[in-house]
Amino acid sequence: MSTETKTTQHQPADPVKKINRRWTRSGGRPRPSSNFELFSWYFFRISGVLLLFFALLHLLIMHLINNVDVITYQFIAERWASPLWRTYDLLLLVLALTHGLNGVRVLIYDYIHARGWRTFAISVLYTVGILFLLLGAQVILTFQPQLQNVAPK
Amino acid sequence: MYRGQSGMWLWILHRLTGVGILGFLFLHIADTYLVGFGAEYFNELLFLYKNPPFRVLEWFLVGAVLFHGFNGIRVIVMDFWDKAVDNHKLLVQITIIAFFVVWLPSGYFMLKPVFFH
């Protein structure tokens, strides 16, 4: 069919412009040629591979080996006593959030065509994204356990 | 080879699971933020995640992450390796089988303490 193109098919630089051929043979997004979109394309794939490790290990530890019955304030306090776990969680937060926000950015360009609504949606996305990134980073970096509440039972 | 075939359904599922995971990530950042307010606030909130319906949803969340991850690998492999594109149907089958092989046993381990304790 008409989608029989190589993955190296170049696209117009501006994602707002009409794209004639939207899909490659593989069904994925064609590798874009503009600087930012090309960066975004690689970022998806690199952060995705990293997330496969970080997110699946996170799920394995927090949802299979442990579960919500044992995850309490004390559990978090003990876990975040180690700077290694704080670094791990911060890395997971940044990777997952930027990967997800980039995904919504692509969805907005795909489904919202009116310029005004698109600008509005992108503005909301970046505002909410930066807010949640700061909230998440703040609690991971500045958390201090209340010692009277984590006394041994 | 694309429209109406397996690749299209996986593409739709990839977008849906992606949005779903991001939605949960926002909730998860909000609940983790409460840990900064102290034990009472955080432990109070956790009742939400402890009830059985939410534990089943939690298993579906794991499923969404597994599918999104495995399907993502499939897309990356096809992006960088032309031979993989020639065998795209086999790759789709491998992706689906790998997903269930990991997701179903994870459900046994995640839901056993909820329903058979």
Residue A85 domain-assigned (yes or no): yes
Cβ-based contacts of A7 with chain B (< 8 Å):
78-80, 82
Per cent of chain A over pLDDT 70 is: 76
Q: In this complex, do A103 and B19 lie within 8 Å of one another by their Cβ atoms?
A: yes
Cβ-based contacts of B73 with chain A (< 8 Å):
49, 52
Q: How far apart are CA B93 and CA B88, in angstroms?
A: 9
pLDDT digits (tens, 9 = 90+) for B51-96: 888 989 999 999 999 999 999 999 999 888 888 877 788 889 999 9
Optimal mutation site among A7, A26, A70, A74, interface B, most CBs of chain B within 10 A: A26
Structure tokens at A119: 């600008």
Optimal mutation site among B10, B35, B89, B99, interface A, most CBs of chain A within 10 A: B35
More confident residue, A91 or B117: A91
Under the banding of pLDDT at 50, 70 and 90, the label for residue A18 is very low
pLDDT digits (tens, 9 = 90+) for B106-115: 999 889 888 8
pLDDT digits (tens, 9 = 90+) for A89-121: 999 999 999 999 999 999 999 999 999 999 999
Structure tokens at B26: 């926002």
Domain boundaries, chain B: 6-115
Cβ-based contacts of B22 with chain A (< 8 Å):
100-101, 103-104
pLDDT digits (tens, 9 = 90+) for B92-103: 999 999 999 999
Cβ-based contacts of B15 with chain A (< 8 Å):
103, 107
Q: How far apart are CA A80 and CA A98, in angstroms?
A: 23
Q: Nearest chain A Cα to B2, which residue?
A: A27
Residue A74 domain-assigned (yes or no): yes
Residue whose token pair is 């960088």: B80
Q: How far apart are CA A62 and CA A64, in angstroms?
A: 6
In which domain, by residue range, is A97 found? Answer: 35-144
Q: What is the DSSP letter of A66?
A: S
CA dihedral for A102, A108, A114, A117, sign (positive or negative): negative
Number of Cβ within a 10 Å radius of residue B110: 19
CA dihedral for B36, B32, A40, A128, sign (positive or negative): negative
Residue A140 domain-assigned (yes or no): yes
Residue A13 domain-assigned (yes or no): no
Per the CB < 8 A criterion, the answer to whether A28 and B79 are in contact is: yes
Q: In this complex, do B32 and A136 lie within 8 Å of one another by their Cβ atoms?
A: yes
Q: Nearest chain A Cα to B50, which residue?
A: A68
Give me the DSSP letters along chain B.
Answer: --TTSHHHHHHHHHHHHHHHHHHHHHHHHHHHHGGGG-HHHHHHHTHHHHSHHHHHHHHHHHHHHHHHHHHHHHHHHHHH-HHHHHTHHHHHHHHHHHHHHHHHHHHHHHHHHHH--
Look at chain A and report how many structural domains it folds into.
Answer: 1
For position A61, which CATH number holds? 1.20.1300.10
Q: Which of A68, A69, A132 is nearest residue B29 as measured by Cβ atoms?
A: A132
The whole-chain average pLDDT of chain A stands at: 81
pLDDT digits (tens, 9 = 90+) for A63-99: 888 877 788 888 888 899 999 999 999 999 999 999 9
Q: In this complex, do B110 and A93 lie within 8 Å of one another by their Cβ atoms?
A: no
Q: Nearest chain A Cα to B92, which residue?
A: A26
Residue A28 domain-assigned (yes or no): no
Q: Nearest chain B Cα to A145, which residue?
A: B38
**What's the pLDDT at B117?**
67
CATH topology of domain B6-115: 3 helical TM bundles of succinate and fumarate reductases (1.20.1300)
Q: Is the pLDDT of residue A6 over 50?
A: no
